[in-house]
Amino acid sequence: MLKSKLILVTVVLVLSRSLYAQGDQTKKPEAHKFAESGLISKHDLQNKTDALYSEVEAEPNSQGFIINYGSVARIRARKNAIRKTRNPRCYDCVRVTFLDGPEKRGIWTVLWIAPSGADWPQP
Confidence of residue 123 (pLDDT cuts 50, 70, 90): confident
Q: Cα–Cα distance between 65 and 40 in angstroms, integer?
A: 18
Closest CA to 38 of 108, 123, 114: 108
In this predicted structure, what is the pLDDT of residue 60?
A: 86
The secondary structure of 99-115 as a DSSP string is: EE----SSEEEEEEEE-
Alpha helices in the chain (DSSP H): 2-25, 42-58, 72-84
Alpha-carbon gap, residue 105 to 70, rounded angstroms: 6
pTM: 0.74
Q: Is 79 exposed, middle or buried (0-12, 13-18, 19+ CB in 10 A)?
A: middle
Least confident of 31-40, 81-90, 108-117: 81-90
Q: Which domains does the chain have, with CATH numbers?
A: 32-114 (3.30.1330.60)
Per DSSP, 88 falls in state T
**Strand, helix or coil at 93?**
helix
